[in-house]
Amino acid sequence: MLHYKKFAVIAILFALTAIGMSAMRPTDDKPPKRNLKVLPKDINHEQLDSVMDSWKAALGVKCNFCHAPSADSTSHHLDFASDAKPEKKMARFMFTMTAKINKKYFKSDKDDQGMMMAAISCKTCHRGSPHPDEVK
Ligand code: HEC
Ligand code: HEC
């Protein structure tokens, strides 16, 4: 009985290791289709979420202001990797500009996770509007 239990535990450990190893191996059939050009390529899910939430709040818009709808019209999801909307490209340009201002004029730099420690951010100019030139 004891022996059997021990064997079961070892078998489970083996199975878990195998699953863990297959998860670590890059899968050739389904490569992650991420399309990041300005954010750190290794940004994790929580960091990406918080960046997106902050942009959304800074401009007072929804995700679909920058992100195009999915090509599959039966789905109501957004195609986050798509660059179809000019607003998304503008946001990249704005991100680069903001980072440059921080670095050049405020001597801010990246923290140990590769994120900018910002003296100014989108909100500094936008204040809840996509058009800061029109904010009263
Ligand atoms: C002001 C424009 C803007 C808003 C608003 C915005 N995003 Fe984004 N999002 C971008 C840009 C630009 C990128 C690409 C960043 C890059 O190139 O490094 C991106 C990338 C992403 C990605 C990664 C896509 C990929 O290639 O894997 C996800 C997921 C995402 N956004 C989700 C969201 C969600 C969810 C919201 C709403 C809470 C949101 N975004 C709001 C501009 C925006
Ligand atoms: C130094 C001020 C400043 C900062 C910082 C700034 N923006 Fe902007 N942004 C502007 C101005 C001004 C405009 C309007 C430009 C125009 O109309 O040509 C604009 C326009 C935009 C637009 C286009 C809106 C539209 O209707 O097409 C997007 C998207 C945008 N900004 C996103 C961002 C994001 C995301 C950040 C932070 C990463 C950011 N901006 C930081 C000043 C700023």
Ligand 2 centroid–CA 126 distance in Å is 7
Question: 41 Cβ partners below 8 Å, 6+ apart?
Answer: 34
Rg over CA atoms, the chain: 22
Token couple for 116: 């900018």
What confidence score (pLDDT) does residue 38 get? 97
Q: How far apart are CA 90 and CA 120, in angstroms?
A: 18
Tell which one of 126, 127, 129 to mutate to probe ligand 2, the residue whose CB is within 8 A of the most ligand atoms.
126
Q: Which residue has the higher pLDDT, 116 or 40?
A: 40
Contact 96, 105 (CB under 8 A): no
Residues 46-82: pLDDT tens digits? 999 999 999 999 999 999 999 999 988 788 899 999 9
Residues 41-56: pLDDT tens digits? 999 999 999 999 999 9
